[in-house]
Amino acid sequence: MLKRIIKYTLLIFLLGGIALMIYAWHLSGQVEERFSARRWSIPSTVYSDTTLLYPGQHINPVRFSEKLFNLGYRSVKTMPSQKGEIRIRTDTLDIYLNDLKTPWTERAGFLAQIGFSEGIIGTIRRKDNGQMIPIMELEPEEIMQFFGQERERRQLISIDQVPEHQIQAVMAAEDHRFFQHYGIDWRGILRAVMTNLRHAAIRQGGSTLTQQLAKNYFLTPERTFSRKLRELILALIIEFKYDKREILEIYLNEIYLGQKGSVAINGIGEASYFYFGKPVKRLTLSEAATIAGLIKAPNNYSPYRDMASCQSRRDTVLEAMHRWEWITQAELNEARQQPINAVGFLAADKKAPYFIDYLTEQLNTLYRSEDLTSLGLSIYTTLDTQVQLAAEEALTMGLARLEKSNPELQRATPEEKLQGALVVMQPKTGHILALVGGRNYSVSQFNRISQARRQPGSAFKPLVYLSALEQFTPTTLLSNDRKTYTVNGKQWDPQNFEPVTEYTVSLQDALKKSYNLATVDLAMKTGIERIVELAAKFNLSTPIKPYPSLALGAFEVIPLELARSYCVFAAEGVQPFPLSLKGVVDENDRILEQQHLNIERLITPAEAFIMNSMLQGVVREGTARSLQWRGITWPVAGKTGTTNDFKDAWFVGYTPDILALVWVGFDNGDSIKATGAAAALPIWAELMNAIPQYRSETDFKIPQGVEKILVCPVTGRPAVVGCPDPLDVYFIADRAPDEACPLHAKEGIAGKIIKGVKGLINDD
């Protein structure tokens, strides 16, 4: 009987052992599959463009300070000694630059000094050798990340990047015999059991780093015997298959170390920046012990939550390091005296949300959403965060100002409030520097820059005048008198915005003062079909029908496409494609996508310059002249726009270097009871005054094929002696008038005859 029991017992143990071996083999396959494949889902990170600084550049001190803060620079009272530190004084900024690495440039950080005078950069020089720097580039700013369901932030590091005292601190805090055991530390388990029995409570755990890694990677947090058994088996398998330093590297990249809002901070690499604003290799002994101490309970020992508990836990880790003879008594004493200077953080707001939505649309043509949340791509954009913040603020303040000035514009519910939109572009490249698609993204995600269709009103008129340049000149006279037109059997009787006394006006004056009647007269003389063809050539995608009302912008456009049309004038006849994306780099720094300039020549440089000259007249003497007393004193061209019943207000203004479009209106088409000059233009001016780094003191370049002629303001012909207040006017050279002013030339001849007769009489 006893032999039978022993026999069956041995059989059971044998079968159990075989089953355990099969199960271990199964788990081994899981470990191999997980560790040999992509170990983590890393969110893709979106970055702004870099920031260029150079002597002679105007800056906005407030926006510039915000930029440095957002880049993680920390203010110190003495000369900066580490990367990421700045010292601000009245007329100088000492800055220890962070390393710069983009797909196009790489530069190690260095100490520099920037000298200022009345908001202008005077000098930039290196502090180490005194060398003057003609241009300096600040690193791009992180805008957002494409998180998956886990919402984890992680910066992967190599074990070779981790200082020895950080490794020792982690071992002291969690598993000081890590390099002596084989995944399971029986001495540690026994010690933990004795400690817990002595205190009659769970005071100590016996899990090794390898067990913790097995639990985090493969198991649920439930506390059952079967889970613990799986954990032990997995730990043994991991130790058998992988080197100790490789296991430690995986652990250091995996461990949970805190929370930033709704996003988990995982890994030593991310934690070193989150808590101390520096890479792991630059962590001090005190900082390394602080991070190691967080592993036990990150949210209890966080310096952002409980500094006293954090410091106590750090000291416990330091004492353990000393106990295991990894640091000396002197090092222990010095590290304990160090304050825990966490850099601080702000809960991440969604930056530039409408821009990010537009960017995402472009990215979705290149990548799947799951790739963006797992491949750890670095996405470099055209966004200038200083311009974006200034645009958001200008729009918010401008709309609030309009509501305050006219209580009829106020609405009770957020969804019905007065709306606005704004886009800022570099006209020669198409780079979108800022995009604000609405008043409040949390209320409405509808992007009024790229998705809305609104009537442009007079903002469309420049295309009408451009279409006429082959037949007419800026001094061609137009009828500004009332006429009735028949359209599809119906009478159409356009009117000027205000009553006028000028019934004959020059083409350039008609544009300058935005006369409706003269514009329609020009459109009819030019041909409506020609204007429709030009609109299609300028890539306006909305349907445009050949009606006379087209001349007054009575059809709908997408604001971004209208802005792109104006880029042609500023870019000397070339139209760019609106770009939000500059390039994409994978986790191994390989360039996957690089957006090249996509431009198309639509008109000649001469035609573009003539339009610029006439649109500068709009700013100097026409409907946009109020810019001059709003602080805009440098050369600017632009056009206001207002639609019937004041449903839409526009202003598009530009220099050779920057273009911005502003739209104001209600989503439901209610009247805003204000013109483009009163509603949109002040927002544009406020924005431009807030970004002086883009101020262009130079005028539009005069290309070949343009001729400046002194003309008579009455006839538009080259002036002669006797013409009153002659004007300088630019013409396309082969289309310039060559016949002298016939009116005053005759008066001059008659005057000479009379004078001659009088002379003869006097002689007699």
Write out the catalytic residue numbers: 174, 458
Report d(CA 664, CA 673) in Å as an integer: 11
Q: Quickly count helices (H) and strands (E) in the chain.
A: 24, 30
Nearest to 143 by CA among 362, 379, 439, 445: 379
Q: Are the CB atoms for 523 and 548 separated by under 8 Å?
A: yes
Neighbouring-strand partners of residue 423: 435, 661
Give the distance from CA 235 to its chain's centroid: 46
Residues facing residue 146 across a β-bridge: 44
- Residues in contact with 661: Cβ distance below 8 Å, sequence separation at least 6, in sequence order: 422, 423, 449, 559, 562, 563, 566, 650, 651, 652
Tokens for 24, please give them: 């271990």
Q: What are phi and psi of 423, to 5 degrees?
A: -135, 140
Amino acid making up residue 716: G
Element (H, E) at 465: helix 461-467
Instruction: Collect all residues with Cβ–Cβ distance below 8 Å to 736 and sequence separation of at least 6.
Output: 473, 707, 709
Task: Give the span between the Cα atoms of 274 and 302, in whole angstroms.
Answer: 11
Which residues, at least 6 apart from 657, have a Cβ–Cβ distance to it below 8 Å?
426, 427, 428, 694, 696
Polymer length of the chain: 764
Residue 81's CB: how many other CB atoms inside 10 A? Answer: 9
Q: CB-based contacts of 19: which residues, under 8 Å, 6+ apart?
A: none
The dihedral of CA 548, 549, 555, 561: what is its sign? positive
d(CA 652, CA 701): 20
Which pair of structure tokens corresponds to residue 695?
Answer: 């101020």
Please report where in the chains the tokens 């805009």 appear, as a residue. 632
Backbone dihedral angles phi then psi of residue 435, each to the nearest 5 degrees: -150, 120
> Is the distance from CB of 111 to CB of 126 less than 8 angstroms?
yes
Neighbours of 645 (CB within 10 A): 11
Residues 6+ apart with CB under 8 A from 106: 100
- Chain-centroid distance of CA 147 in Å reads 18
User: Sign of the C-alpha dihedral, residues 547, 551, 557, 560?
Assistant: positive
**Cα dist from 86 to 58, 91, 498, 532, whole Å:** 20, 14, 56, 56
Please, are residues 627 and 688 in contact by the beta-carbon 8 Å criterion?
Answer: no
Q: Provide CB contacts within 8 A for 77, sequence distance 6+.
A: 87
Could you tell me whether strands 263-266 and 152-153 are parallel, antiparallel, or unpaired per DSSP bridges?
parallel
Strand partners, 661: 423, 652
Does the CA dihedral 444-449-450-456 come out positive or negative? positive
Q: Are 547 and 554 in contact (CB under 8 A)?
A: yes
Torsion angle (degrees, nearest 10) of CA 139, 144, 147, 152: 60
Degrees to nearest 5, angle at CA 356 with 350 and 361: 145
